[in-house]
Structure 1
Amino acid sequence: MYRVWGYVTDYSLLLISGAVIALVWANIDPDSYHHFVHYVIVDNFWIGDAEAEGGQITRTLTLHYLVNDVLMAFFFAIAAKEVWEAIILENGALKGRKALTPLIATAGGMLGPVAVYLGLAAMLGIFGTVSRGWAIPTATDIAFSYLVGRMVFGPGHPAIRFLLLLAIADDAGGLIILAIFYPTGDLAPQWLLLSLGAALAVFFLCNWLPRRLDRGNQLRPNSTWVRKRLSFWPYLIAGCVSWFGFQEAGIHPALGLLPIVPTIPHADRAFGIFAEAEKYLTDLLNWIEHHLKYPVEFILFFFGLLNAGVEFSAIGAPTWLVLLGLIIGKPVGIFLFGWFAAYPMRLGLPAGVRPIDLVAIGCVAAIGFTVALFVASVAFPPGAVQDAAKMGALFSFGAAAISLVVGRLLRIEKVTS
């Protein structure tokens, strides 16, 4: 059922490598590290960090902006692809009654960390300083959670599927949170019409119209011509236009490819994230994902390199708020909401999953890392608070060890096939 192990392993190792190099570099020579991160590629450019000068907006393209705001759009596009397929396709993981318990558990896994984070911030008297970071501990890193989940439950345990459903839904929630609560500047929503127009145009011209012209013709000459001659280029051009619309609208441009993903021709049914059968699908959406695999791995390496470089002296209250929000709020929220969905709401749990297993699932889901780092970088301006929050995201790796211990204490029997 699950896609080759190497896919996740490669992704994880490159991201971890970038983060480790960043940590070492930032603590040995912080000045050169920060100079590298904020290296100016092009000044007075049409994309980049916005600055107001003399009543006009100028943009500077830095290495950090290139990776976080431009290249990470491909990472979020892949995440959006999995969410889109899970919702709309036949056998989609988030379609129908079977997904209700994981979806409700996901709500608990997002509300629990927020409650812990904000509650502790209020108790410590620093609510005003750190409240903007409330969304950081809501994140679940799909790949790392999948790796650790296999170690805790074994690859064949039904809890793995539950965990993946939860992580996909968590990603969807995270994308919505980023778009709504973390604008990158003054909102100018009229620019979203540019993104909408690009999406509608490419869908009509390159997807709907060829299929309409091919009605009743099994050879599908028009669709075949568009696929062979134009390939992914119309969608890439539309993606660039949509990305620019997001930047000008003040919404984080890393989400700029999201309107284009649903316009790409896709398979008729889903096999599930990490499904082995996915690599044999030849529809354009899966073809694009397969060809983005290796570029995105290297993008994540540079994302870790440019975002995880935090000096250990930066550890402070935000570090513990993020960490405790993840390792306490996630398991408690997932267990309570999952139990409520399964029993009082009578939605049930998958066969082979015990109610107590929800605690272990919650511990595994507490690994925030990638998305938590990303949210920390947009929630706070560069400085001590952002660095401390990032350290909390990095420390969430400790949830892996906690998950293994909890798995033993709960006597979870691994299912290998």
Structure 2
Amino acid sequence: MSSHKWHWLHSPITGGVLLVIAATIALLWANIAPEHYYAVWHNTLWEVSSGFSDKVNQINLHKIANEFLMAIFFFFIGLEIKRELLDGELSSPQKAALPLFAALGGVILPAGIYYVLNAGLPTANGWGIPMATDIAFALGVLAIVGSRVPVTLKVFLSALAIGDDLMAVIVIAIFYTEQIFVNELMVGLAGLVILGIANRSGVRSPLFYYSIGLVIVWISFLASGVHATVAGVAVAFTIPSRREISMDSYLDQTKALLNDLEIDRHCEKDVLTKHAIKTLKKIKAVSFQAANPLQLKEEALHPIATLFIVPVFALGNAGVIIDSSMLNELTNPIVLGIAAGLVIGKPLGIFLFTKLLIALKWGSLPTGVTWSHVIGAGFLAGIGFTMSLFITDLAFADPQHQVIAKVAVFVASLISGIIGYIILVRTKPIDA
């Protein structure tokens, strides 16, 4: 009853709706009171130095959202990726081949289209912007389509988006790191080694992993110049994913402990006996031993990531001033590259690479999925909102370029989402 009551917290529709609301508020705020919007998000709150170098980090709300909260979001993404690799749609070469290859096509073609249209220009560094998929929006639209599409399409799109996220993290780490401070990076890597050893040694305390992950790894990566979101994914991969006891052992132990509680069955007082408290603590400890720490953290972080972190990120990054001058930018190479990359490159890349894999007989379409479904899902993957905005700030130092790119992301993502929805709604089930 309780879990059913709160099921909406894990619904992709809820996350998508909150994201739209946050982006709309940001746009209105930035256009009605631009000075106030900029002051709230960008005025320096304090300055921090790691002590290893002369680099000083200026901390403001925008940086907290982009470097701290998004690191937690990427930690959540890392947990999803690890789970999928261990026991999900990416857990074997046969399962992983189709979504990963499709994701690769959805990364290469949009990035290539953007680069061709911006080659030789100062804006060429934005090639990573149209390669990203906003999994919250994409799955939200798919949820709105509902039972008209097979469940296997949601699984395919989810695995594809996770593969997309993995590639985005690699791209951010390699191509969007301007300068690396080695001392700080080595401290961060040492923190990861400590976490890895702890995992292998059977340490399961959440406090231990969070403390080392935040105090050593995240701060060191932030100071090193390697984007802190990479630290989030790296720490996620050190989280234990093995249960301490089997389900058989758990059932035997809990049955014994429950039998031990029989003497307290008729206790109607709110204040329990010491015996009852001790037994309940034992049941809690055994339950934790039987659970998968990685899954527990992923379940706990899901509502925080989708209902708080991503909307806050949108609130701090979607605030761009839109005026009549934007009409003059319709032929800007940034706009053309992003629009063509998301609206054309994404679905085309996913379709072509999926087609190629199946032609080579290295995979097959999921049960109930047609080529129209693949094309529709490809357009949904063209909703690049959150990740595209994130990469925009990494790719461009010029505020004007950032504004143009963000507006292009808004428009292109909206077009991709609408086209994908129409295609999927109009596609008949395979058995129709």
TM-score (norm 1): 0.81
Partner of 2:350: 334
TM-fit CA distance, 1:366: 0.6
Question: Which of 132, 139, 143 is equivalent to 1:139?
Answer: 132
TM-fit CA distance, 1:392: 1.8
CA contact (8 A) 1:153 1:412 kept: no
CA pair 320-5 structure 1, distance change in 2 beyond 3 A: farther
Question: Which of 89, 96, 101 is equivalent to 1:99?
Answer: 96
SS of equivalent to 1:80: helix
AA partner of residue 248 (structure 1) = A
SS of equivalent to 2:58: strand
RMSD: 2.4
CA pair 202-104 structure 1, distance change in 2 beyond 3 A: closer
CA pair 337-153 structure 1, distance change in 2 beyond 3 A: farther
AA partner of residue 46 (structure 1) = S
Question: Which of 206, 214, 228 is equivalent to 1:232?
Answer: 206
Residue by residue, what CA displacement relative to the aligned partner does 1:78-111 show, whole Å, maximum 9, x if unpaired?
Answer: 1111111111x23453422122122111111111
CA contact (8 A) 1:82 1:168 kept: yes
Question: Which of 403, 406, 427 is equivalent to 1:387?
Answer: 403
Structure-2 separation of matches of 1:237 and 1:351: 44
Question: Which of 46, 49, 52 is equivalent to 1:46?
Answer: 49
1:399 aligns with 2:401: no
1:27 aligns with 2:31: yes
TM-fit CA distance, 1:374: 0.5
Partner of 2:73: 75
Question: Which of 87, 92, 96 is equivalent to 1:90?
Answer: 87
Structure-2 separation of matches of 1:341 and 1:387: 38
Q: Bigger shift: 60-69 or 292-301? A: 292-301
Structure-2 separation of matches of 1:194 and 1:56: 16
Structure-2 separation of matches of 1:374 and 1:329: 19
CA contact (8 A) 2:372 2:423 kept: no
Structure-1 separation of matches of 2:301 and 2:372: 38
CA contact (8 A) 2:57 2:223 kept: no
Structure-2 separation of matches of 1:367 and 1:5: 22
Structure-1 separation of matches of 2:88 and 2:39: 49
CA contact (8 A) 1:321 1:392 kept: no
Higher share of residues assigned helix: 2
Structure-1 separation of matches of 2:138 and 2:213: 29
AA partner of residue 84 (structure 1) = K
Which sections of structure 1, spanning at least 5 residues, go unmatched?
48-54, 212-225, 269-280
Task: Give the fraction of aligned pairs with identical amino acids, expressed as a percent.
Answer: 31
CA pair 112-412 structure 1, distance change in 2 beyond 3 A: farther
Structure-2 separation of matches of 1:376 and 1:406: 29
Structure-2 separation of matches of 1:4 and 1:163: 21
SS of equivalent to 1:412: coil
Structure-2 separation of matches of 1:147 and 1:17: 14
CA pair 233-322 structure 1, distance change in 2 beyond 3 A: same
Give runs of ≥4 in structure 1 deviating > 6 Å. none
Question: Which of 279, 287, 302 is equivalent to 1:293?
Answer: 302
AA partner of residue 118 (structure 1) = Y
Question: Which of 235, 243, 249 is equivalent to 2:218?
Answer: 243
Residue by residue, what CA displacement relative to the aligned partner does 1:297-316 show, whole Å, maximum 9, x if unpaired?
Answer: 22222211110001113743
Question: Which of 371, 380, 383 is equivalent to 1:364?
Answer: 380
Structure-2 separation of matches of 1:39 and 1:65: 10
Structure-1 separation of matches of 2:322 and 2:430: 37
1:208 aligns with 2:200: yes
TM-score (norm 2): 0.79
Residue by residue, what CA displacement relative to the aligned partner does 1:53-87 show, whole Å, maximum 9, x if unpaired?
Answer: xx943322111111111121110011111111111
CA contact (8 A) 2:103 2:163 kept: yes
Q: After TM superposition, list the pairs within 5 Å mapping 1:92-241 onto structure 2.
A: 92-122=89-119, 127-152=120-145, 154=147, 156-183=150-177, 185-205=178-198, 207-209=199-201, 211=202, 227=204, 231-240=205-214, 241=216
AA partner of residue 200 (structure 2) = W
CA contact (8 A) 2:48 2:56 kept: yes
Partner of 1:51: none
Residue by residue, what CA displacement relative to the aligned partner does 1:26-57 show, whole Å, maximum 9, x if unpaired?
Answer: 11121111111102211x3237xxxxxxx943
CA contact (8 A) 1:85 1:92 kept: no
AA partner of residue 72 (structure 2) = F
CA contact (8 A) 1:27 1:310 kept: yes
CA contact (8 A) 2:77 2:233 kept: no
Question: Which of 271, 288, 312 is equivalent to 2:322?
Answer: 312
Q: Bigger shift: 147-156 or 23-32? A: 147-156
CA contact (8 A) 2:102 2:160 kept: yes
In our comparison, the structure showing a higher alpha carbon Rg is 2
Question: Which of 15, 20, 40 is equivalent to 1:16?
Answer: 20
Which sections of structure 2, spanning at least 5 residues, go unmatched?
1-5, 244-289
Partner of 1:348: 364
TM-fit CA distance, 1:389: 0.6
CA pair 90-406 structure 1, distance change in 2 beyond 3 A: closer
Question: Which of 258, 263, 270 is equivalent to 2:233?
Answer: 258
CA contact (8 A) 1:244 1:256 kept: no
Structure-1 separation of matches of 2:242 and 2:20: 32
Partner of 1:223: none
SS of equivalent to 1:264: coil
CA contact (8 A) 1:94 1:165 kept: no
TM-fit CA distance, 1:115: 2.1
Q: Bigger shift: 167-176 or 246-255? A: 246-255
